[in-house]
Amino acid sequence: MFTTAFLDLPPLETAAGTITLPGSKSISNRVLLLAALSQGSTVVHDLLDSDDTRVMLEALRQLGCRIEQNHSTVTIEGLGGKPITAQAQLFMGNAGTAIRPLTAALAVMGGSYELRGVARMHERPIGDLVDALRQLGCQIDYLENPGYPPLRIGQPTLDVSQPIRVRGDVSSQFLTALLMALPLVAKQDITIEVVGELISRPYIEITLNLLARFGVVVQREGWQRFTIPAGSRIISPGEIHVEADASSASYFIALGAIAKRASSQNCIKILGVGADSIQGDIRFVEAAQMMGAQITSGPNWLEVTRGAWPLKAIDLDCNHIPDAAMTLAVMALYADGPCTMRNIASWRVKETDRIAAMACELRKLGATVEEGADFIRVLPLPNPADWKPASIHTYDDHRVAMCFSLAAFNPAGLPVRIEDPKCVAKTFPDYFEALFSLVQTSRQHIPVICIDGPTASGKGTLAAALAKRLGYHFLDSGAMYRITALAATGAGLPIDTSGETAIASLVQDLSITFTAGQILLDGVDVTEAIRSEANGMNASKVSALPQVRAALVDLQHSFHRLPGLVADGRDMGSAIFPQAPLKVFLTASAAERAQRRFKQLISKGISTTLDSLRADLEARDERDQTRSASPLKPAQDAVLLDNSDLSVEKSVDLVVGWWLGKQPF
């Protein structure tokens, strides 16, 4: 997951490949709560790992639920309708799928509980649910603003003899909460009556489907009256699988509809969700087809290719796909006329006011947008000149971040900045990694920052910190020869001219990763192994082999991939990446570098002298500057940085400032 302050998406061109989606948030949190309330043990497979599910799991643990977790498989021992812990303070983050059903379940079971969340959660309405629960005798108090969390829950005096009335026109989660909680106290038939039009009906269908899996069959009269039969009990099904998230599928369906095909592949294939899905957002497929996407499907897969282009304009009631409809608003930028998404009033009370947020960010891109209480109308941007570079504010809303990534396919070839990309952790922590695995673009669009300089100038430390700050890949070119020497020795190859061809061939298959201060070779940490004295001598021999040097240049070029690269070395800007838009050359003096190296060695208990270190560095500088192949020197367009008296953080700040000054945002 990208944890940077922002993530710059280069202009994207084509897309193809296969993606396996994470589990559905809506299903995951419903299943977790039902499993906790049930009688028996439940093994949950393919559970979504995200902020919202972690919030629910932690709350259930606090209530005394025994939970064993092994990656995406979770085993839950049900509480049998009665929490072990009768008093708790629960933090709900910004998870509506956690706080609303938990409020209802705790309110009917009784105890002493406080439920709080982040600031935005305290702005999301819960009053209609509280009003409904109070009708049947639940004790719930508002701790701050009436109608909103945080809440205090006490002991109820229940009376379920009369129908419970709940509004359905603000959020379907209120009805879901009641449906999941009331089987706990169904000594007689319990009736729920919906006041007004019920929005987001497909989410109620998910709830009813899962309740049936847990042994509760709710009787429904249209969408206005629901009856929980007397004697209903929540009973574990033993095992249950969470299907992939249909809302998350919308971004990849849209990707297939928007992007040109990659030359070697024909489509975007989505695994984990398909025609048999119980989620309402699977009907996003129909909306995408209306706009021209070509889609085929099986029980749990979809294949999408671009069909009509530009996309066809639509005017659509989106009440049945409220979350996925946000993706349509970005697809509208590529349409042949205005697109209107209607009946989306629920957007106003989601993670943010999504109608206002989408309108604001679409306008940044250059679009003309009309918004109303329950609709948004977007005019397309048919000409490259109509598009503007934009830094997208994401409002701590995962779906805003994900759907606006599709704007990087704009015909103007402009980058798109996504602020706070880590907000996708709510439902799809690895979204951007998944996106980059499917999309392609010309190398000229993928940025490279080169950090060159002499030995012990701090270039590796600066480059690694810079890459972390920007979310870019990191290349430590100085380690490449050492890694090659280690791999050649391990393969039993002679490190001389007789083994030159074989070593060059070996280089082509090396899998090297630089991450978090570690160097991995084929998944094994070789950080210390490559620094041994013997391996250093072999690295010098390897560097003298022309075929190996050529193979390593190709290997270094392979690190030039989305979303960008920071490369450190001696000739990154002058020889390896001469077209890099920013090249920095460090100019710390030999005296300063010797002082740094002296401190490092002394801290490790290695005896040395400043004079010897300085003499050695000056000798190495002389060799590097006068060698025939790629001598050490600044690229003509390099920015010189004397970091003698600068901390690493200050140096990073300077380089980031130079980089941002080159961006169009």
Is 233 flagged in the annotation as binding? Answer: no
Is 96 flagged in the annotation as binding? Answer: yes
User: Does one domain contain both 135 and 52?
Assistant: yes
The whole-chain average pLDDT of the chain stands at 95
Range of the domain at 52: 25-238
Residue 270 lies in a domain: no
Q: What are the backbone dihedrals phi and psi of residue 658, each rounded to the nearest 5 degrees, phi first?
A: -65, -40
Is 460 flagged in the annotation as binding? Answer: yes
HEC-encoded secondary structure of 129-197: HHHHHHHCCCCEEECCCCCCCCEEECCCCCCCCCCEEEECCCCCHHHHHHHHHHHHHCCCCEEEEEECC
Q: Classify residue 385 by its DSSP letter.
A: G
State the residue for tokens 């992007």.
259
User: Does one domain contain both 361 and 410?
Assistant: yes
Q: In what order do the strands lie in the sheet with 518-521?
A: 512-515, 518-521, 524-525
Report the candidate in 241, 630, 653, 638 with the shortest Cα–Cα distance to residue 462: 653
**pLDDT beyond 80 at 628:** no
Is 540 flagged in the annotation as binding? Answer: no
Which amino acid is located at 164 in the chain? I
Q: How confident is the model at residue 516 (pLDDT cuts 50, 70, 90)?
A: confident
User: Does one domain contain both 403 and 514?
Assistant: no
User: Does one domain contain both 602 and 642?
Assistant: yes
In angstroms, rounded to a whole number, what is the distance separating the alpha carbons of residues 178 and 182? 6
* Candidate from 39-43, 70-74, 263-267 with smallest mean pLDDT: 263-267
pLDDT at residue 111, rounded to an integer: 97
pLDDT at residue 26, rounded to an integer: 94
pLDDT at residue 607, rounded to an integer: 83
For the segment 310-323, the average pLDDT, to the nearest whole number, is 96
Residue 265 lies in a domain: no
User: Does one domain contain both 541 and 577?
Assistant: yes
Condensed to tens digits (0 to 9), the pLDDT of residues 249-258 reads 999 999 999 9
**pLDDT beyond 80 at 264:** no
Is 173 flagged in the annotation as binding? Answer: yes
Between the alpha carbon of residue 175 and those of residues 80, 117, 187, 201, the distances in Å are 22, 21, 20, 10
For the segment 62-78, the average pLDDT, to the nearest whole number, is 96
For residues 27 and 15, the answer to whether their CB atoms sit within 8 Å is no
Condensed to tens digits (0 to 9), the pLDDT of residues 533-545 reads 899 889 888 988 9
For the segment 611-627, the average pLDDT, to the nearest whole number, is 80
Better pLDDT: 609 or 583: 583
User: Does one domain contain both 411 and 323?
Assistant: yes
State the residue for tokens 């992939």.
244
Percent of the chain with pLDDT over 90: 87
User: Does one domain contain both 564 and 610?
Assistant: yes
The residue among 393, 414, 442 that closes a domain is 442
Is 631 flagged in the annotation as binding? Answer: no
pLDDT at residue 451, rounded to an integer: 98
Is 354 flagged in the annotation as binding? Answer: yes
Q: How confident is the model at residue 266 (pLDDT cuts 50, 70, 90)?
A: confident
Q: How confident is the model at residue 501 (pLDDT cuts 50, 70, 90)?
A: very high
Q: Classify residue 262 by its DSSP letter.
A: P
| Whether residue 323 lies in the annotated active site | yes
For the segment 221-236, the average pLDDT, to the nearest whole number, is 97
Condensed to tens digits (0 to 9), the pLDDT of residues 556-579 reads 999 999 999 999 999 999 999 999
**pLDDT beyond 80 at 146:** yes
Percent of the chain with pLDDT over 70: 100
Report the candidate in 112, 94, 3 with the shortest Cα–Cα distance to residue 56: 94
pLDDT at residue 631, rounded to an integer: 81
Is 499 flagged in the annotation as binding? Answer: no
Report the candidate in 97, 154, 84, 155 with the shortest Cα–Cα distance to residue 126: 97
For the segment 202-226, the average pLDDT, to the nearest whole number, is 97
The residue among 388, 408, 442 that closes a domain is 442
**pLDDT beyond 80 at 623:** no
Residue 300 lies in a domain: no
User: Does one domain contain both 338 and 234?
Assistant: no
HEC-encoded secondary structure of 404-427: HHHHHHCCCCCCEEEECHHHHHHC
Active-site residue (options: 323, 374, 397, 420): 323
Is 346 flagged in the annotation as binding? Answer: no
Report the candidate in 245, 227, 228 with the shortest Cα–Cα distance to residue 52: 245
pLDDT at residue 540, rounded to an integer: 83
**pLDDT beyond 90 at 627:** no
Is 30 flagged in the annotation as binding? Answer: yes
Residue 248 lies in a domain: no
Rg of the Cα atoms in the chain: 29
Condensed to tens digits (0 to 9), the pLDDT of residues 86-127 reads 999 999 999 999 999 999 999 999 999 999 999 999 999 999
pLDDT at residue 594, rounded to an integer: 83
Condensed to tens digits (0 to 9), the pLDDT of residues 341-351 reads 999 999 999 99
For the segment 310-322, the average pLDDT, to the nearest whole number, is 96
Question: Which residues are paired to 87 by β-bridges?
Answer: 112
Q: How confident is the model at residue 466 (pLDDT cuts 50, 70, 90)?
A: very high
Q: How confident is the model at residue 276 (pLDDT cuts 50, 70, 90)?
A: very high
Q: How confident is the model at residue 261 (pLDDT cuts 50, 70, 90)?
A: confident
Is 417 flagged in the annotation as binding? Answer: no
Residue 274 lies in a domain: no
Beta pairing, strands 268-271 & 41-45: unpaired
**pLDDT beyond 90 at 142:** yes
Q: How confident is the model at residue 636 (pLDDT cuts 50, 70, 90)?
A: very high
Is 196 flagged in the annotation as binding? Answer: no
In angstroms, rounded to a whole number, what is the distance separating the alpha carbons of residues 299 and 302? 9
Count: domains in the chain = 3
CATH at residue 167: 3.65.10.10
Residue 318 lies in a domain: yes
Could you tell me the two tokens for 111? 């105890």
User: Does one domain contain both 528 and 413?
Assistant: no
**pLDDT beyond 90 at 474:** yes
Residue 272 lies in a domain: no
The residue among 223, 238, 253 that closes a domain is 238
**pLDDT beyond 80 at 552:** yes
CATH at residue 638: 3.40.50.300
User: Does one domain contain both 133 and 196?
Assistant: yes
Residue 574 lies in a domain: yes
Is 260 flagged in the annotation as binding? Answer: no
User: Does one domain contain both 125 and 69?
Assistant: yes
**pLDDT beyond 80 at 128:** yes
Could you tell me the two tokens for 332? 């509208």
Q: How confident is the model at residue 159 (pLDDT cuts 50, 70, 90)?
A: very high
pLDDT at residue 604, rounded to an integer: 78
Beta strands in 421-526, from DSSP E residues, in sequence order: 439-440, 448-452, 473-476, 512-515, 518-521, 524-525
For the segment 652-658, the average pLDDT, to the nearest whole number, is 98
Q: 3-state DSSP call for residue 515?
A: strand
User: Does one domain contain both 393 and 458?
Assistant: no
